[in-house]
Structures are given as C-alpha cells and as structure tokens.
Amino acid sequence: MVSIDPTMPANSERVFKINELKTEVANHLAMLEKRVELEGLKVAEIEKCKSDIKKMRDEMAARNSRTNCPCKYSFLDENKKLIPRRDVPSYPKYILSQETIEALRKPTFDVWLWEPNEMLSCLEHMYHDLGLVKDFKINPIILKRWLLCIHDNYRNNPFHNFRHCFCVTQMMYSMISLCSLQVKLPQTDILMLMTASVCHDLDHPGYNNTYQINAQTELAVRYNDISPLENHHCAVAFQIFAQPECNIFSNIDQEQFKRIRQGMITLILATDMARHAEILDSFKEILDNFDYSNEEHVTQLKMVLIKCCDISNEVRPMEVAEPWVDCLLEEYFMQSDREKSEGLPVAPFMDRDKVTKPTAQIGFLKFVLIPMFEIITKLFPVVEEVLLQPLWESRDRYEQLKQIDDTMKELQKKKNESLASEGRENTIMDTKIL
C-alpha cells in the first residue's frame, strides 16, 4: 500500500492495511451469507416443486381412476371437445330395501355405509320418489347417465368429494319430507333444490375461495374474485347439462328451463359462506310475514335451505358427524400448508398449529349453525326436535371436550414448571456441594 501523505508514520500504514483486510473479510462474509441464503431458497424451491409435482401426479391418478365419462369437464382442460356417449351407464344397480328407503328420508341416515354405486342408486331413487322423473318427463336412462357423470366430476378431496355431494342431497331430501315442502312449494322448486344440491360443489379443487383470490388462480381471475368456486360449480353443472345424453331437462320447455337454470345458479351461489350474514339477515326481515305465494320470499327460503343442508353434518348422530370434522380439518391443513409455502395469509381456524377439533367446532356451532337452524325452526317448528336438538347436544359435547383439553394442558404446564423448578434446585445444590 502506498501512503498518500509522505509524512505519515509507518504504523499508520499498518492500520490502513488492517482496516482494508477487515473490509475485505466483511465483504467476503456478506457474499458467503448471500450464497447460503440463495442456496437455502433453492432447496426450499426444490422441495416445493417436489411437493407440487406429487400433488399433480396424485390429481392425475385420481382423475384417471374415475369412470371414463364423456361429460367430464375441467377448467384445466376446457378446450377439450366433449363427445357424448350413447351407451347405457354401467354402474351396478343397487336394489334399495324398504328399511333403506325409510332411513333415507331421515337426517340420521348413515352416509358412511355406502359405496359409490349404492349412493348413485339412492340419488336415483330420490328423483323417482319425489315424482320429479314423472312430472318433468326425465328419461330414466338419461338420469342414470347424468348421475354417473356428476360422480365423475367430483374430485377425490378429503371433504369436498362425491360423498359430501350425496350427504348434502340426502339432507335436502330429508328436509323436503320433514318440512312437508312438497305441500308448500311447486315441483319446479323441489327440482331446483335437489339438483342444486347434487351440483353445488362440482369439480371443487380442495382449496377455498380465500386461497383462490389470494393466489390469483385462474378461477379467481376468470370470475373477478366474486365467488370463484361457486361460479365454477355452476359452470361445470351446465356444461354437463349441455350434453344431450346427460340433460335431464331435455323434455321441458325453454322458458321453464331458464327459470330452473336461474334458480339453480342462485342456490349454488348462496353456498358461498362469505355471503352467510347477508342471506340470513335478508331472510330474518321477511320471516314474520312469510308468504309462500311471494316468489322473492320463496327464493330466500330456498337459499337458506341449501345453506342448512350444505353445512348440516353436526345435525347427524355423533358417529356419523365426527368423521366429517376430521375430513374437513385434513383439507384445511392441506390448504394452510400450501399457503405457508407460498407466503400467503393463513386463517387461524385452518392452521394445524393453532386449531383443535373442539375449538374448530364450538365457534361454528354457536355462531353459524345453531342461529341458522333456530331461524328455520320459526318457520318449521318440527325442525327443533329433529335438527336443532342434535346441534345443542353437539355444542355441549365439544365444550366438555375443550374443558378436558384445557385441564390436561394446565396439568401438563404445572408438571413442566415443577420439573423445571426441581431442576433449578438440583443445580443450586450441586453448586453448593462443589
């Protein structure tokens, strides 16, 4: 190093060299830290890619394992030409016993006992039993083909799958019976309620609207962040109906089809929980003067009915309801894990590190389910004993479970504190001995 001042002492030269060396070392360390950070990001990115590839492979395997339905439609492959099939659907016909027929009309029906072909046969029976096949001249072969196509367009998600579709539709069927809706509503409304229930979650990807909007997925962009999933379910439903071999509405006139289509869209869009308060508040306003001859009143009622059925699992017996909680939490955790990996916001009720089964259910029962069914009870008093009572019992059971969990946590906390205190005392004693 050359001194810029000839009068500068030699030791000053040494100081400059040391400072220059320090700067060089600091720069080198910073560069190493940056490389380590970049390598860490690469590893994380590789792991994320591996995870995404696995999910894509699983999804492809799930789709390939479905029955080969010509009406299958996916927003990932919307340009694929749909070729209608004209053969008779091949799912095995399940003959319903009288015991099953009677059980099917009740909310206590155990939806876990049935294979897909049995659930398809049950759905087929509902359409015949309600007189929809006769009144709307539905071709029985087209009904079978349509139901099979519906089955094929539900994904193998932990929760939003074909069994959930069956569960919601069976609850609607039981509510139609319980509340004597066929006496109060025209058959067109019964057809809307049943068919919207069947179609309400078609091709659900397993990630909710919040994820779609935050991740700016294709669905969120397509539907401008407005109920992207529910809009997609409607679109898939009517893509299926557009195929003559799957169109159960083929024998009704155009004006009636337009009314049914608009009614179904209204009902499916009502299942977006972001609209829950808005829909319930509107229904409360008309409840005291409810008029079955008022079309707007009936539309509001139908919206609340499909909402009740969509989230009605806790109405069922505990052994039927509880597995659904596990399924829902599994789907929530899949989403929250993905949100964390993508740097997106995570809802606390979906975070595996923050939520428990009791905490998840208590708030949902107290602030969503019970108030909604209490409102329906005002119009249909019979609902209280059959549907509302089980919800009260479920709330009490989960509150007891939470108390047990809290007690166990408190005991564990005291135990840990006691062990820590003993550890400190032993350390002090050892120090004194030394």
Residues designated catalytic: 160
Q: How far apart are CA 41 and CA 91, in angstroms?
A: 49
CB atoms within 10 A of CB 224: 10
3-state SS, one letter per residue, for 179-243: CCHHHHCCHHHHHHHHHHHHHCCCCCCCCCHHHHHHCCCHHHHHCCCCCHHHHHHHHHHHHHHCC
Using alpha carbons, select from 154, 155, 91 the residue that is nearest to residue 120.
Answer: 91
Query: Which amino acid would we find at residue 243?
Result: Q
H or E stretch covering 118: helix 116-129
Q: How far is CA 308 from CA 42, 273, 279, 304, 312, in A?
A: 47, 11, 12, 6, 6
CB atoms within 10 A of CB 266: 17
Using alpha carbons, select from 191, 309, 175 the residue that is nearest to residue 261.
Answer: 191
Locate 382 and state its tokens. 């019979």
The DSSP letter of residue 367 is I
- Whether the CB-CB separation of 273 and 201 falls below 8 Å is answered with no
Q: How far apart are CA 129 and CA 187, in angstroms?
A: 12
The residues, any chain, with a CB within 8 Å of residue 268's CB and separated by 6 or more, are 196, 199, 200, 230, 233, 234, 237, 306
The residues, any chain, with a CB within 8 Å of residue 326's CB and separated by 6 or more, are 357
Locate 220 and state its tokens. 């969120």
Q: How far apart are CA 165 and CA 156, in angstroms?
A: 12
**Total count of residues recorded for the chain:** 434
Using only the alpha carbons of the chain, give its radius of gyration.
30
Locate 264 and state its tokens. 């179904």
